Chains A and B, each alone.
Chain A
């Protein structure tokens, strides 16, 4: 568990940058409040639809934060020093991912708390909704590890907008049916729409695990692949 020392350091870096951390945690629930007047139009803006959409928007912010801390360290001499220690690629990915798990949990809880205030009702198992979204959050963190292992800090700022827009237009805030065509097919192949469908089905229709199993395994599969890819890419970058 040597990676825990590095995870602790990364956690300290996070909470010593209060502005970024505050923005990552507080902005998505605040956004839900800001968008709440749109609920009267129903459809995607109904609380059961938009609440998980906002959660995924928050996860996209986590992707970028986690990618930034890894990319910054990769560009600094500190990571060179750490690469001469006995830590392995999976230790590094664990150490850079772990601090973001509590952030994701806080985000889910805060957004659903605000959703509750705005009239969100969960007709199915709330724990199952949490499970689906939590696994999805790990996928987003895994994506952050891939971006952080591949891109420089400057390149990441160029990727920020496309990642956010992909989530927003990929079913989070805009129904995929509205987008249609190739984009809809691509987004159906990715895990985001599956996580949203599963969460919305549980909340709106009281779906059980067997009803959302396909969506859930789709999300879980992607999460595992993203982490495996993150470790693979990081390992390739460890020795030049």
Chain B
């Protein structure tokens, strides 16, 4: 790495130097015509934190990430990354960040080595250093054996792993992972989680996802985003505790029609359809009341039980929507 590059990557603006925050957003918003995609979001993400933005498609997660990565201009407000303003000092911001975008952003006609060299070289690393880091990353992502193959022949999971490796080869201080496991099979997803878990504490990571298990398993703090706003922010425990006065009843049933579910929603507003029944969140849930309501409608109830609150329940409670809607 050149001296000037090293210097650039290490500097911070005096105003925020040493305040411990890698990312700060100040009422950042973005409109597309009349649509408000991100609505006055404030963020303070500590250095070394793994911060997750959890929300359904279209919630504003990717738009927020794109603004923080200087790809989209905020309509109002601003943000700093490692003390550098995203609008006034975008080149300095770009020196300290890297991203694995939602779409698999790799050069299809190159092999894995060449993809990593491309990014390493652009960030000003010496050839030998890129080679060493690439070796480590290919090993970490389990791609060493096929590193010399053109990546267009890779599976979806391999492409995702390479995309993450490309985001790491520049040794960024702040790493953005935008839906890193979107569309992957459970095995590939779990493998990527393991790799992300290895990075915890070493880098500031912003992870967007609409898989609550992902946020629950990996994040230090989670921001639940809906319709461009942060509706809740805290650790997974804090978020679950925020509805600790609520009960979640699992009703396993057969012949459960959509009319029956809609009827239940008139009694309990938070009813979520699951594979073999429904889950009902409320301050007080009466299994008798549920049985009395469903039986006359021809529903065969197999069991009712109370379960621990999940992030899904928190999301439903806060937004009135299911996360996967």
Contact = CB atoms under 8 A, between A and B. Distances in A.
A87 B94 CA distance: 9
Contacts of B90: 239
B121 A77 contact: no
B107 interface: yes
Interface stretch (B70-78, B243-251, B305-313): B70-78
Interface string A62-96: 00000000000000111011111111100000000
Contact of B70 (A6, A17, A239): A239
B103 interface: yes
Contacts of B69: 84
Contact of A239 (B71, B99, B104, B119): B71
A205 interface: no
B94 A84 contact: yes
A5 interface: yes
A15 to B, nearest CB: 10
B99 to A, nearest CB: 5
Contacts of B85: none
A9 B72 contact: no
B101 interface: yes
B318 interface: no
Given A13-B109, A86-B91, A240-B73, A81 B99 contact: yes
Report, as a range, how many residues of chain A touch the other chain: 20 to 34
Interface in B70-104: 70-73, 90-91, 94-95, 97-99, 101-104
A128 interface: no
A4 interface: yes
B302 to A, nearest CB: 46
B122 A2 contact: yes
B209 interface: no
A77 to B, nearest CB: 4
Given A77-B105, A81-B101, A86-B91, A240 B72 contact: yes
B96 to A, nearest CB: 10
Given A2-B122, A5-B118, A240-B73, A76 B94 contact: no
A219 to B, nearest CB: 33
Nearest to B8: A86
A115 to B, nearest CB: 34
B71 A78 contact: no
A84 B103 CA distance: 14
A16 B121 CA distance: 21
B114 interface: yes
B110 interface: yes
B129 to A, nearest CB: 13
Nearest to B86: A239
A6 B122 contact: yes
Given A13-B109, A78-B106, A2 B124 contact: yes
A95 to B, nearest CB: 9
Contact of B101 (A5, A6, A8, A77): A77
B192 interface: no
Nearest to A85: B122
B94 A5 contact: no
A76 B109 contact: no
Contacts of B101: 77, 80-81
B123 interface: yes
B177 interface: no
A9 B99 contact: no
Contact of B122 (A13, A78, A86, A240): A86
B72 A12 contact: no
A80 B119 CA distance: 13
B166 interface: yes
B98 to A, nearest CB: 7
Interface in B23-73: 69-73
B121 A81 contact: no
Contacts of A17: 109
A5 B121 CA distance: 6
B94 A86 contact: yes
A88 B90 CA distance: 10
B124 A9 contact: no
Given A77-B101, A77-B103, A87-B122, A16 B109 contact: yes
Interface of B: 8, 69-73, 90-91, 94-95, 97-99, 101-107, 109-110, 114, 117-119, 121-124, 166, 170
Given A9-B110, A81-B99, 8 more contacts: A2-B121, A2-B123, A8-B118, A9-B118, A12-B114, A76-B105, A86-B8, A86-B123
21 contacts: A2-B123, A2-B124, A4-B121, A5-B121, A6-B118, A8-B118, A9-B107, A13-B109, A77-B101, A78-B105, A78-B106, A81-B101, A84-B70, A85-B94, A86-B94, A86-B95, A86-B123, A87-B122, A88-B91, A239-B71, A240-B73
Interface of A: 2, 4-6, 8-9, 12-13, 16-17, 76-78, 80-88, 239-240
